[in-house]
Each structure stands twice: as C-alpha cells, then as structure tokens.
Amino acid sequence: MFSTNQVKIIHASVDHVWNRIHDFHRLDWAPTVIERIDKIGHVAGNAPGARRRLNGSLYENLLAIDEVKHLVKYSVDDGKFPITKQDISNYVGTIKLNETKEGTTEMVWSTSWDSKNENAVEYYQDIYVALMGELDKSFHFISNIEAKRGSVISMNSHVDLFNH
C-alpha cells in the first residue's frame, strides 16, 4: 500500500475555501494544473456518484461529501501511466478542511492506493502540492504578505513494503 499526506495553510476562512472546492465538477481555481475538466454523467458535483475526467485522462468518482465537516472523499478509477487501472487499485483520496485559530484553513489532502509501481507516489504528491498552492494563490487578494508565508507545512509519503 502507498500513501501520501499533504498539509497546507490556505489563507482564507474554511467557509470561503469550502465554497471554492465543494463542487467536484469545478477546478477552475487551479488553471495551471487542471487545464480541462469534463463532467461525466448527470450527478451534481456535490453528490456522491459525481464523476469527472481531468485533463482528458484521469477518471475520478466522488465517494462522499460532508458539508458540515468540510470533507471530500473520492476515488481515482483510471488514468495514464503511472496511474492506469493496471498500475493502481483501491485508490481513495480525502480532502479535509480545518479552521485554524488565526481564521485561516488547514487543508489536509491524504491518499492511499495499492500498486506495484512506486512512481505513482511522487506523481500524486507533486500534483496535490501544486493544487494546494493554486488554491491558496486563488485567495491572494486577502493578503499578499500572508500568502507568501503559506508553503506546504507538512508532506510525507508512506510505502508499506509488506504488501509487495
């Protein structure tokens, strides 16, 4: 089993961040990372079962959403190397927003999956760090000084060698 865990302070309130990310069909806040998003099916972007294709090749499914706890849980079902359905399985990603005492948002983005390919760890971690940076940058009008301090505060990967 592989996993990544990224934590970043987003320089906006939890409600502002949630309003920007809770629609699974919307990633316009990350234009340098996600160039294209295609809605698949008829399920609304804030309902379990919503599906999307990112950048023409990454297929994701919304598993759960909690508007009160500010939590999104999704799966990655297919993509291109190193994340094809032949390369990974049981992929689950979770985004959790927590309010800080300063009034900003701690964003925790955790993922886990099974794979025989270790290349996916760096691939996923790089994408999530970039997405979190884009999200924070989308709030820069709040305070340019605070936004400059908003680097990723924690990042780690775990490889469980017992399952290989």
Query: What are the residues facing 71 on neighbouring strands?
Result: 66, 96
Whether 17 and 100 have beta carbons less than 8 Å apart is answered as no
Percent of the residues in the chain that have a pLDDT greater than 70, as a whole number: 85
Tell me the domain boundaries of the chain. 2-23+64-163
Asked whether the predicted pLDDT for residue 164 surpasses 80, the reply is: no
Class (C level, CATH) for 2-23+64-163: alpha beta
Smallest CA-to-CA distance from 94 within 78, 107, 111 is with 111
**Spatial separation of the C-alpha atoms in residues 82 and 66, rounded to whole Å:** 30
Q: Is 90 exposed, middle or buried (0-12, 13-18, 19+ CB in 10 A)?
A: exposed
Name the more confident of 148 and 97: 97
Among 8, 21, 35, smallest CA distance to 67 is for 21
pLDDT of residue 159: 46
Task: Name the pLDDT band for 155 (thresholds 50, 70, 90).
Answer: low
Q: Which residue has the higher pLDDT, 31 or 152?
A: 31
Pick the residue with more confidence: 59 or 146?
A: 59
pLDDT band for position 5 (50/70/90)?
very high
pLDDT at 151 over 80: no
DSSP 162: G
- Over residues 149-161, the mean pLDDT reads 48
Q: Which two tokens stand for residue 134?
A: 């884009």
Residue with tokens 């799966």, as numbered in its chain: 75
Q: What digits encode the pLDDT tens for the residues 79-124? A: 988 888 888 999 999 999 999 999 999 999 999 999 877 778 888 8
**Residue 48: both structure tokens together:** 């379990």
